[in-house]
Structure 1
Amino acid sequence: MRHFHLSAALPLVLASLAMAPATASAREKPVITLPPETLPQAAAPEPLAELVKQVDIPYERFTLENGLTTLVHTDRKTPVVGVTVYYRVGSKSEPEGKTGFAHLFEHLMFGGSRNVPNFDIPLEAAGSTSTNGSTWYDRTNYVETVPTGALDLALFMESDRMGHLLPAVSQDKLDKQRGVVQNEKRQGDNQPYGLVDYAIGDGLFPVGHPYRHSTIGSMADLDAATLDDVRKWFVDNYGPNNVVIALAGDIDAETSRAKVQQWFGDIPRGPEVADTSAGPVTLDTPVSREMLDQVPVTRLIRAWSGPGWTSKDAAPLAIGMHVLGGLASSRLDNVLVRDEQLAVSVSAYVQQFEQTSFLQIQMDVKPGVDRAMAEKRLQEVVAQYVAEGPTQDELTRAATEYVSSQIGALELVGGFSGKGSTLAEGLLYAGDPAWYKKELEHIAALTPAEVTQALQSWLSRPVYALTVVPGDRVEDGATMGGWSDDGANDAGPQQALSAAEKAKLAARAEAGPPREAPALSTTPKLTFPVIQRAYLSNGIEVALARRTAVPKVSLALEFDAGYAADSAARAGTQSMMMDMLEEGTTSLSAVELAEAQERLGASISAGAARDTSTVMLSALTANLAPSLELMADVVRNPAFTSDDVARVKDQRLAEIAQAEASPIGLAQRAIGPLIYGQDHPYGTVGALGRANVIENLTPGALKEVHDTWLRPDTARITVVGDVTMAELLPQLERAFGDWQLPTSETPQKNLEAQLPTAPQQPQIFVIDRPNSPQSVLLFAKVLPITGSEPGKEPLELANEVIGNGFLSRLNMDLREDKGWTYGIRSALSESEGPESFTVFTPVQADRTADSIRLILDDMKAFPASTPVDTTELQRVTEGNIRGLPNRFQTNAQVLGGIMENQQLGRPDDYYAQLPAIYGAIDGTVIDQAAAEYLQPGNMTIVVVGDRSVVEPQLADIGLPVRYLEGVE
């Protein structure tokens, strides 16, 4: 791959660059002094056609005699291999009465096979990323990214469940995973607008169309699934001839061929998956539907089915819809959000599938705006755009943004969006692993006329109009998502298996000879990029980690602020100010600012976390100089115009309303004040803040906050990407070096403020949310340590044992054994001030109290009755050591690691030290950390659910219970 570099010639300035050594424990501030004539001038954006050339995934292909096809891409930048396995079967393959079955089966594939009792434990212990899978209309895939030395183990395990699954499938496993999937469905249904996708499928397609029913399916069909169904699905669909494996990373084709033949070669072919007729559908007449839901604002949705993956209109529609409602400067944004302020958010996009697509336009109506007026203007703006089409400038900006994102995607070898998936989907859907390249070349060559023609062909057909309005939800997600359209979704006809089918299943279920799992081989150690440090002439510290895998640069400008800089009386001010940075400068309007980023293929975003306020830049290396100048204008010269402030305030108020309509949002907003108290900087409702504070903000107040907290002496710049320090520093000096230090004192946050007295026993706070099929549980407490306290690694590993990861005790108990939740996770806050420990999970409503008891019991038992065992110890120590290369594949991951080290006061070589640190940790110190910090005796528990269901369960729980009216 050819890398982009700055097109402007740089003078020899190395002699005047003073850089501090990365290992210095204390640094004086060396500065750079550059004559103005040596500073680089802004470069013109790189032509789109040149950018497209940078997206390249060379591959080799081979097919075994049993039909298994393998694609291999070599990428030696990190000693890992992405293993991506695609089965050509998805929800569109499901017959009547079997909706949700492909996805249910995906869950069962993780339950163990003939020679692999548990699929996750060996791989995660070997340093793999969390093994995962997904199901969609056209396919089911399974992904893991493993250290090179664990590739044989991964292939052995994938081949064992492909060829030897049935002996391990039992009724107990089916029942448990059925419960998990049904809680996954409840979790999605329980969100605001959570029933929309069901309604869109019903509205666009007739009964029986393969893309009509949802992938999650209906509760009735999930309940009806039998063990024979499971076995038949496996035999019919999971043969090697219906599979594409992509191996991407530290591997080559010759080595891959031998390994794939060794592990998969003896698996017999299965039946060919029959082609499905599932093209787009044109409605006879426009269709309208209105849904009531527990939502804060009215949502207008306009939808059509569209062309399939390889259609000549697919790319023009994708870019055309992006111009309409995907760009920050989109037509819908400019008219409906900025100019006329009829909406708080808008979008337009294409969900692309193999044989059809979903074309969707969405508008969240601003509270107080007449719905009829909003609908009329939405229709007029869309009609005008479809009639006129995009301009060449809009087309170029949309295409550049899309191509830039594809260049960034080249960093990942595996996972759901890595290079392996790109190749596999091209082969599955287009018969060509390099289809992505044809698509990008098509996008780069698009003309306004071609896009206009596609828009007119597809968006001029009768529309499906769905409107979701605030009110009491009257429809039940449990009865939606299935085959029929009568609302009942009773399971369809259940046909008994024939004698021949039963014989075939019995033959495949025979145990057969045992297979031995291969041993792990040596994997090279993590090589974390060298970090160079320097200072600009005004004292801003700069850290750079050079990585040349892709021609992009990721940059973070951090300020020591965050929403902890707000008092309770100003909750939300800091993040509101940061949001306003993206709304225009003294020289550029919000639209002009968005357009400038789009032309450069750059992305500038701003936001406030708990301890820091950060402006992020993602830029193409070729366009770094102008991107930095744009970023500097955003940071240093925000406009804070009255009109923009008023508009963004309305949007923020709508965001707060959305959060308070969400069960998860309600829990998250409640917990901070309860455990930290109103007087501590962390005792807030989160970054969004409170509505009464936002309503009273003025441009002057926001400017004051900006000038107080965003200044050179609170700033730090961290950069990762394809640029040298010699190239970077002059550009940063040009953009930020003349930013003068204010005369006022540096602002301070009082992170040592008094905390409320911890409760003597767990206490429960319930927030009523009627009609909730699940209860959201959030356990939390403040720990007597700060995030920057050294030697916390045993505590972090204890957290992994109890709740941080798929194999944690809480997840294996509450999800895998009981089936009461789709997932549970614990976390340490890693904050600069007092750290918090949290446990979060949505559980089925009728198991609310049982889940609370189980979680408390599991936490008490660790380590009192169940200390860490040898398997857990190996997984969190040796497994983490072997998995370190997986954690730093991308620029963003490296950037995040450096920023965390800086925030918590760790040395630059911290990740190089981690193997030795983990290697010295034994079970005793992990148990001590759990006993000292992770006990539940003083936990605060927030429950968000239907009080009529929850209250009877809590009557005899033996803990104090208080009912809240909302976030206090």
Structure 2
Amino acid sequence: MTAKILALSGVALFALATPALAAPQAAAIAKPAPVADLVKQVDIPYEEFTLKNGLRVIIHTDRKAPVVAVSVWYDVGSKHEPKGKTGFAHLFEHLMFNGSENAPGDFFEPLKQVGATDYNGTTWYDRTNYFETVPTPALERALFLESDRMGYLLGAITQRVLDVQRGVVQNEKRQGDNQPYGLVDYAKTAALFSPDHPYGHDTIGSMADLDAASLDDVKNWFRDHYGASNAIVVLAGDVDVATARPLIEKYFGAIPAGQKTVRPVAPVPTLSAPKVEVMKDRVATTRIMRTWVVPGLDSSDATALDVAASVLGGLASSRLDNALVRKEKLAVAVTAGNQTFAQLGMFEVSADVRPGVDPALVAKRLDEIIADFIKNGPTADEVQRVATGEVSDRIEGLESVGGFGGKAVALAQGALYSDDPGFYKKQLATLAAETPANVKAVTAKWLSRPVYALTIEPGARAAYDEAKAAEEKPDVAEAAPFKGTRGDMPAVGTIADLDFPKVERAKLRNGIELIYAQRNAVPITRAVISFDAGVAADPATKLGTQQLTLGMLDEGTTTKDSIAIAEARERLGAEIGTGASLDRTYLSLSTPSTNLGPSLDLFADVTLNPAFAPAEVARLKNQQLAGIASELTNPGGLAGRALPKLIYGPASPYAKSAGRGDPVAVAALTRADLVAFQHAWLRPEKAKIFVVSDRPLAEVKAALDQRFGSWKGVGAPGVKDFTAVSAPSAPKILLIDRPDSPQSLILGAAPNSLKGTAELLPVITANDALGGSFLSRINMDLREDKHWTYGASGNFSRSQNAAPYIVSAPVQADKTGASIAAIRQQVGDFLTTKGLTKAEFDRTIIGKTRELAGNFETSGDVLGAMQTNDLYKRPDDYYATITQKYRALTQAELDAAARATIDPKSFIWVVVGDAKTVRPQLDSLGLPVEVVPAASIAGAK
């Protein structure tokens, strides 16, 4: 759960709590498995070889699914950039997605055709990586593509390609800058590093350096850093060395070795004296930050610093949470983390001041708690809880072969940073062996040095050069495509249909339905109790009741206070969470299966026996109110609060989805309101339990029956009413004035008569070409042609009783009106004169069927699909048969479905941006424009 509040200090408060649900008291929490036993479950066996050109190749075999993760890591990042060329590594990452000499055009096109999933690229201080997970028969094509952009790229980089991706990167930068606290990282970097330090500039780079990048500059950057000897290729999944090596030799063997990057000298800087700065931003709460530069992965101190950060502010039961948030009620949120790079790290502590509290007092207490920790260090139990949580997270991560954090990443990172693919094991062994004495000594060594203290206060953000719109560069004629000499891309073999796990159903003694699937890839159990409630069940006059109720569940039961709950969860390596969609409210559990019994004990206690202590209710209300205030400073929060009433109509239960609720209503909520909501909605008659586990159904059912089988509801169940007529708004533009925004967030919504329980596969599939994928017309137009955005999309927002079509596009402020016009043009053309093409249809159907195995690689993927099928009243084997459904679709059927569903004239637009810049652009679009200040969105009127 996200809420972390006050520890109850006396039993008198518990006397006020009447169990809202009749159930037996949970048994005492059983002893968890030792962390050493969990560490033994973490293993990624691998083989490796090196080509004559220096390319290092690592292979891990995992046959659980017919997919292979391809991960290519280059030893180049922003720390290698010289003065005047900041942002080059990241810019080049973008350029490498725009086609190569033998695979011209956008790199996502052939990836989509082979059914790739988890495909992307990232750049950071120490490295650049590219990755995709592909069906096993598509491995050869993936290797062709990766080798082509490694060895045969320069002929495909034209001035036009450079100009487009430069604009995309600059809008990525604006998108980050446009968020609350969006300029903090720049301030930290400038304060802690000299300008010539390798880590002394941000990876995104400066607008001026990006503008100055010439075609020769970027080509020379490639020649200097992208040779075979500067790269590592990791293949993880349904592959072995015997299969992989001939393919690697075939496609990568002829690529020149190139230069090997020299690791720059990057000492850990120490400030000569404490540095104190204050900056203003359009934020809702004052944030107090403390930052030190510390050693990185190449130091034996890194793990101890990780532990220290978790104990201070990373655990749910952290020192800062317990003191500042739970007990003293001075802050609404605290964090601490140690961001570790290859050669150094950033140790950071922060506290968001509770409104009405003196920031100076919070800063004083923050410094006192840090000083006490430096002096006394952690307890053995705290160190053990950190280790258990980290190892449990690693076990969960092993289920993915690729993506941002799977097994390929672990092997590649170890090889690149530490010259050891198995370095993750050394890290876990070090973590398991950490002692309080060592953590104390390392913390004192590094955090006793002068600190950088930054305070961000609410106020007008100071003007800064980076916010200015760049000068328009004239369009240049596209150069003739360079014809490669490697021949056509290899064919893709036959890809088998999805083998979706068997779903079984059973019932607990009291009738709660259990929907179960077994997955044996990792020893993890994931469970969700899903209630027929959701945002639609929130009391109309008390919006925010559901969120406050859910937030209170782990803030104390009738036998445990919030600290005891957090500590018990951490000892088990378990995660307990809550959440809600428009239709469902859920409680979730993820735990190592070795700790299933005691984790279910805790889960049942939180679910069945919450105390709702009045003191806790009062303080959690303050936290929720602070969250609402933060939504009113955030572009996405503002748009999300404004749109529901416009698109669903004010009387619809779905119109209640206004962020964290109505601040006036939340401020007035009482304990009785929360108990009433729980009685009405969080009850066994409205519950279904979904489980994916390596443990057999009989064992899981018996364990759940023991904890939940006697559970009975109290009072009458709640009822949702969708019978009232609620008309959406007429087409218009609602402009929410957010001054000094370098970007505008555009949401365009088209209402319709769809219900989510209908078979929407044809129209959703048709939308893949319009707005549903990277290659969609909306994204390719606004991003890859006009470069006005970092990304734009359009999708159906599906719930049981509605499915409006919603377009989202954050665009540079000076192109707001033109962007809406462009979206309207794309949507109108698609639905009238320029419908789905044969190429788009083929790409979509082929891609959708081939990507299925990758889409359901993990137990979390399967668990989500099981809940979706149940919500939309589909059979449990829906995904086992979806391949045949896709293949039965026709181009004409998809075209007709889109035209019957989306009305281009019905769009309602919400724009969050600077009215003085944006309003003149909107007046020419032929729609009424209503301008409102951001503050007026508080009640989502």
Tell me the TM-score normalized by structure 1.
0.92
Alpha carbons of structure 1 residues 556 and 158: separation in structure 2 relative to 1, 3 Å: same
The one-letter amino acid paired with 2:845 is T
Q: Any conservation in 2 of the 1:130–1:806 contact (CA below 8 Å)?
A: no
Q: Secondary structure at the match of 2:100?
A: coil
Supply the distance in 2 between the matched residues of 1:697 and 1:667 (Cα, whole angstroms). 25
Q: Does 1:355 align with 2:355?
A: no
Alpha carbons of structure 1 residues 196 and 716: separation in structure 2 relative to 1, 3 Å: same
Instruction: Give the number of equivalent residue pairs.
Output: 903
Alpha carbons of structure 1 residues 743 and 289: separation in structure 2 relative to 1, 3 Å: closer
Q: 1:964 maps to which residue?
A: 932
**Alignment deviations for residues 281-321 of structure 1 (CA, whole Å, 9 cap, x no partner):** 11110011111100011001100101020311100110111
Q: 2:796 maps to which residue?
A: 828
Q: Secondary structure at the match of 2:554?
A: helix
Q: Does 1:725 align with 2:712?
A: no
Q: Any conservation in 2 of the 1:218–1:489 contact (CA below 8 Å)?
A: no
2:740 to 760, 771, 774: 771
Supply the distance in 2 between the matched residues of 1:818 and 1:773 (Cα, whole angstroms). 17
**Alignment deviations for residues 896-944 of structure 1 (CA, whole Å, 9 cap, x no partner):** 0000000100001100111111001111111111111123211110011
Supply the distance in 1 between the matched residues of 2:539 and 2:747 (Cα, whole angstroms). 24
Q: Does 1:101 align with 2:72?
A: no
Q: Any conservation in 2 of the 1:279–1:308 contact (CA below 8 Å)?
A: no
Q: 1:147 maps to which residue?
A: 135
Q: 1:248 maps to which residue?
A: 236
Alpha carbons of structure 1 residues 757 and 607: separation in structure 2 relative to 1, 3 Å: closer
Give the alignment of 1:445-524 within 5 angstroms: 445-476=433-464, 478=466, 513-524=485-496
Answer with 828-837 or 588-597: which moved more: 828-837
Q: Secondary structure at the match of 1:963?
A: strand
Q: How far 1:778 moved relative to its partner?
A: 0.5
Q: Any conservation in 2 of the 1:763–1:941 contact (CA below 8 Å)?
A: yes
Q: How far 1:513 moved relative to its partner?
A: 2.2
Supply the distance in 1 between the matched residues of 2:693 and 2:113 (Cα, whole angstroms). 31
Q: 2:10 maps to which residue?
A: none
**Alignment deviations for residues 721-778 of structure 1 (CA, whole Å, 9 cap, x no partner):** 211111111110111001024352x32211233121552xx31110000000011001
Q: How far 1:687 moved relative to its partner?
A: 4.4
Supply the distance in 2 between the matched residues of 1:42 and 1:333 (Cα, whole angstroms). 23
Supply the distance in 2 between the matched residues of 1:753 and 1:579 (Cα, whole angstroms). 30
Q: Secondary structure at the match of 1:472?
A: coil
Q: 1:534 maps to which residue?
A: 506
Q: 2:807 maps to which residue?
A: 839
Structure 1 unmatched ranges of 5 or more: 1-35, 481-487, 491-508
Q: Does 1:592 align with 2:564?
A: yes
**Alignment deviations for residues 562-604 of structure 1 (CA, whole Å, 9 cap, x no partner):** 1110243121111211111121111110110000100011011
Q: 1:863 maps to which residue?
A: 831
Give the alignment of 1:426-437 within 5 angstroms: 426-437=414-425
Q: Does 1:337 align with 2:306?
A: no
**Alignment deviations for residues 834-889 of structure 1 (CA, whole Å, 9 cap, x no partner):** 22211111100000000000001100111322121122112221211111001111
Q: Secondary structure at the match of 1:834?
A: coil
The one-letter amino acid paired with 1:732 is L
Supply the distance in 2 between the matched residues of 1:772 and 1:849 (Cα, whole angstroms). 15
Q: How far 1:685 moved relative to its partner?
A: 4.2
**Alignment deviations for residues 697-740 of structure 1 (CA, whole Å, 9 cap, x no partner):** 11111011111111110000000021111111111011100102
Supply the distance in 1 between the matched residues of 2:465 and 2:230 (Cα, whole angstroms). 33
Q: Secondary structure at the match of 1:739?
A: coil
Q: How far 1:82 moved relative to its partner?
A: 0.5
Q: Does 1:605 align with 2:577?
A: yes
The one-letter amino acid paired with 2:223 is V
Q: Does 1:60 align with 2:47?
A: yes
Supply the distance in 1 between the matched residues of 2:316 and 2:119 (Cα, whole angstroms). 35
Alpha carbons of structure 1 residues 758 and 661: separation in structure 2 relative to 1, 3 Å: closer
Answer with 309-318 or 183-192: which moved more: 309-318
Q: 1:74 maps to which residue?
A: 61
Supply the distance in 1 between the matched residues of 2:40 and 2:305 (Cα, whole angstroms). 22
Q: 2:380 maps to which residue?
A: 392
Q: How far 1:385 moved relative to its partner?
A: 1.1
Supply the distance in 1 between the matched residues of 2:314 and 2:519 (Cα, whole angstroms). 30
Q: Any conservation in 2 of the 1:543–1:719 contact (CA below 8 Å)?
A: yes
Supply the distance in 1 between the matched residues of 2:482 and 2:645 (Cα, whole angstroms). 58
**Alignment deviations for residues 444-480 of structure 1 (CA, whole Å, 9 cap, x no partner):** 1111001101110111100001110000000426179
Alpha carbons of structure 1 residues 529 and 42: separation in structure 2 relative to 1, 3 Å: farther
Cα RMSD of the aligned pairs, angstroms, is: 1.8
Alpha carbons of structure 1 residues 489 and 678: separation in structure 2 relative to 1, 3 Å: closer
Q: Secondary structure at the match of 2:117?
A: coil
Q: Any conservation in 2 of the 1:610–1:687 contact (CA below 8 Å)?
A: no
Q: Any conservation in 1 of the 2:509–2:709 contact (CA below 8 Å)?
A: yes
Answer with 117-126 or 56-65: which moved more: 117-126
Q: Any conservation in 2 of the 1:306–1:356 contact (CA below 8 Å)?
A: yes
Q: Secondary structure at the match of 1:214?
A: coil
Supply the distance in 2 between the matched residues of 1:261 and 1:223 (Cα, whole angstroms). 39
Q: Secondary structure at the match of 1:354?
A: coil
1:787 to 747, 756, 777: 756
Q: How far 1:606 moved relative to its partner?
A: 1.2
Q: Any conservation in 2 of the 1:567–1:681 contact (CA below 8 Å)?
A: no
1:92 to 79, 82, 88: 79
**Alignment deviations for residues 480-528 of structure 1 (CA, whole Å, 9 cap, x no partner):** 9xxxxxxx999xxxxxxxxxxxxxxxxxx98662422000012232211
Q: 2:37 maps to which residue?
A: 50
Structure 2 unmatched ranges of 5 or more: 1-23, 472-480
Q: Does 1:748 align with 2:748?
A: no
Q: Any conservation in 1 of the 2:582–2:657 contact (CA below 8 Å)?
A: no
Q: Does 1:706 align with 2:693?
A: no
Supply the distance in 1 between the matched residues of 2:391 and 2:118 (Cα, whole angstroms). 29
**Alignment deviations for residues 42-86 of structure 1 (CA, whole Å, 9 cap, x no partner):** 642111101001110000001000010111000000100000000
1:289 to 277, 283, 288: 277
Q: 2:147 maps to which residue?
A: 159
Q: 1:654 maps to which residue?
A: 626
Q: How far 1:893 moved relative to its partner?
A: 0.8
Q: Any conservation in 1 of the 2:751–2:906 contact (CA below 8 Å)?
A: no
**Alignment deviations for residues 633-670 of structure 1 (CA, whole Å, 9 cap, x no partner):** 11111111111111111111111111110011101110
Q: Secondary structure at the match of 1:683?
A: helix
Q: Any conservation in 1 of the 2:232–2:412 contact (CA below 8 Å)?
A: yes
Q: 1:804 maps to which residue?
A: 772
2:893 to 925, 935, 938: 925
Q: How far 1:436 moved relative to its partner?
A: 0.4
2:636 to 653, 664, 667: 664
Supply the distance in 2 between the matched residues of 1:671 and 1:41 (Cα, whole angstroms). 46
Alpha carbons of structure 1 residues 825 and 748: separation in structure 2 relative to 1, 3 Å: same
Answer with 183-192 or 670-679: which moved more: 670-679
Q: Secondary structure at the match of 1:425?
A: helix
Answer with 468-477 or 297-306: which moved more: 468-477
Q: Secondary structure at the match of 2:409?
A: helix
Q: 2:820 maps to which residue?
A: 852
**Alignment deviations for residues 608-650 of structure 1 (CA, whole Å, 9 cap, x no partner):** 2211110000011010011111111111111111111111111
Supply the distance in 2 between the matched residues of 1:134 and 1:96 (Cα, whole angstroms). 22
Q: How far 1:890 moved relative to its partner?
A: 1.0
Q: 2:7 maps to which residue?
A: none
Q: Does 1:186 align with 2:174?
A: yes
1:908 to 864, 876, 886: 876
Q: Secondary structure at the match of 2:121?
A: strand
Q: 1:22 maps to which residue?
A: none
Alpha carbons of structure 1 residues 283 and 724: separation in structure 2 relative to 1, 3 Å: same
Q: Any conservation in 1 of the 2:637–2:659 contact (CA below 8 Å)?
A: no
Q: 1:505 maps to which residue?
A: none
Supply the distance in 2 between the matched residues of 1:653 and 1:876 (Cα, whole angstroms). 44
Supply the distance in 2 between the matched residues of 1:678 and 1:757 (Cα, whole angstroms). 8
1:738 to 710, 714, 729: 710
Q: 1:32 maps to which residue?
A: none
Q: Secondary structure at the match of 2:905?
A: coil
